[in-house]
Amino acid sequence: MTTDQSTATATTASTTASTTSSTTAPTAAPTTASRPIAERHLFGPGPCNPYPEATLALAAPLLGHLDPVFLAVMDETCDLLRYVWGTANRRTLPLSATGSAGMETAFVNTVRPGDVVVVAVNGLFGERMVDVAGRHGAEVVRVDHEWGSPVDAERVLDAHPSPAIIAAVHAETSTGVRSDIAALGAGKGDALLLVDAVTSIGGIELRADDWGIDVGYAGTQKCLGVAPGLAPFTISERAFARRVEKPSSWYLDLGLLGGYVGEAEGKGQRTYHHTAPTAMVASLHAGLRRIADEGLEHVWARHAEAGRLLQEGLQELGLTLFAQEGARLPELTTVNVPEGVDSAAVRRYLLERHDVEIGAGAGEFASTVWRIGLMGHNARRDRVALVLAALEDALAHA
């Protein structure tokens, strides 16, 4: 063997040993840091601090997903979801996934290749609708709006003479803007109206049936005051009748899910589909029960008051608001970062000094806008005072 061959053999052996060593499963438990439990004031775009009842429900003894007690809780949860959606839709249920999966469910069950889908885009989540619809083969007609402004219903309705679907975001989380969904419903014609209500449900007026919403999805972690993990979903009879019979997603197939919740209610028989996150459903049930006990319109009013006080307080601090006046969400306020102020440094100071979390902006506004959420249990006067005082202190040290 030559010297070169010997060197090459040694190098190969060394490389093989190194590769084998790096891919060997560990035999000892990894070392993890011991740290105190952090408790934050979650005043960003979500999640928010849950209602105490929702948190307490997570500690209840766990039930099986086909336990009759749990099934009763699931049925009541579906009834409560109809209440906050403002719908009588039979197929109203909590999907076992986050709000983004709710979006996926909406499109995968309704879009066929070549279908025309008109999407109103006035922020990040309208952009995501475009992406998701396109992935399912839609011919997407996007109607762009300036970020910070509401959807122009007339422009959206005039964008195509006969779309299969019209899609819009009710409360755009990236910009803090509310759009008029009722106007889209009134003019939708034969199209299905598909709506993102992630940030609106439980916080501002939402009336799915009265407004003509055919497919709606939301999340638990914002105004419903529950931890993230479920996607409240509703679909009308006309939309379900037009659904894709065998969508590309087995897990999100509403035809299969209907045998487990929704359609099976009151029949005493369930079709197994997946193992539901029973603790999360129990927590959602508790959060919704809290809202129902207070009264939905009272909850909307509480969010409205908290948002008004926050926005007035921010302007008294000399700050300016990003979202267009007249379309500002009360539950999620967008505020312009003052010129010369380091956005990230202020947010870091708030977190480290006051245990207060606020959000950065989205997209091109990531460093020039703050997003401050007062949602669910946080939509209260004392939380307004806390976030304003903490922000004033942070700006003084900026």
CATH classification code of 52-294? 3.40.640.10
* 13, pLDDT greater than 80: no
Per-residue pLDDT of 204-217, as tens digits, reads 999 999 999 999 99
% of the chain at pLDDT higher than 90: 87
**Residues 254, 243: Cα–Cα separation, whole Å:** 9
Residue-wise pLDDT for 262-279, tens only, equals 454 545 567 788 999 999
Indicate left, alpha or beta for 316 from its phi (over 0: left) and psi (-120 to 50: alpha). Answer: alpha
CA-closest candidate to residue 41, choices 397, 388, 378:
378
- 235-258 pLDDT, tens digit per residue, is 999 999 999 999 999 999 999 987
Single-letter residue type at 118: V
Topology adopted by domain 41-48+296-396: Aspartate Aminotransferase, domain 1 (3.90.1150)
Sketch the domain layout of the chain as residue ranges. 41-48+296-396, 52-294
Q: If we measure between CA atoms, which residue out of 114, 176, 122, 102 comes closest to residue 374?
A: 176
Coil/strand/helix, residue 73: helix
Q: Which two tokens stand for residue 109?
A: 């069950």
Which are the contacts of 25, defined by CB distance < 8 A and separation ≥ 6?
none
